[in-house]
Amino acid sequence: MLKHSIKVGFSFGITSGIITTLGLMVGLSSSTHSKLVVIGGILTIAVADAFSDALGIHISEESENKHTTREIWESTVSTFLFKFIFALTFIVPVLLFQLSLAVIVSLVWGFSLLGLLSYNMAKEQNEKPWNVVLEHWLVALMVVVLTNYIGSFIATKFN
């Protein structure tokens, strides 16, 4: 069983890494159709957003006023590392496939990871796993659909 502080970083980092990176990839892909731009976006998310999320978790954990300094820093560092690492995994399909296929592979990868995380979390909390999985998938799907439309809108208005 993971310590609470590591579990916070793990669950937040992976979830944010998946949803943010997929949204960025879909939006940039539909607006630019450029592998270079998508890779640059993923690298930017992996660094800038991982630091941002880590600081957000740090401040959130501090504001609860119930964690030790060590626990707060464990949550901070684990959030950064998990977000950074999982965001970077989305570069692999972009390097291996044409961009349109890479986005599909990334969507399957991301939704699979999110489903597995959600399923395990629900089981630990004695909730109906598929209700939790579907709820989390729905949020991720909304992000993907919205960023696709935003990217397409930008492409038609500014190209």
DSSP secondary structure code for residue 33 in this structure: -
DSSP secondary structure code for residue 87 in this structure: H
Exposed, middle or buried, 24 (CB in 10 Å: 0-12/13-18/19+)? buried
* Residue that is written with structure tokens 């970083």 in the block: 9
pTM exceeds 0.85: yes
Give pLDDT, residue 2.
77
Q: Read off the tokens for 99.
A: 């961009």
Q: Read off the tokens for 113.
A: 């990871």
Q: Is the pLDDT of residue 1 over 80?
A: no
Read off the pLDDT of residues 88-121 as tens digits, 9 standing for 90 and up: 999 999 999 999 999 999 999 999 999 999 999 9
* Angle formed at CA 87 by CA 83 and CA 93, multiple of 5 degrees: 160
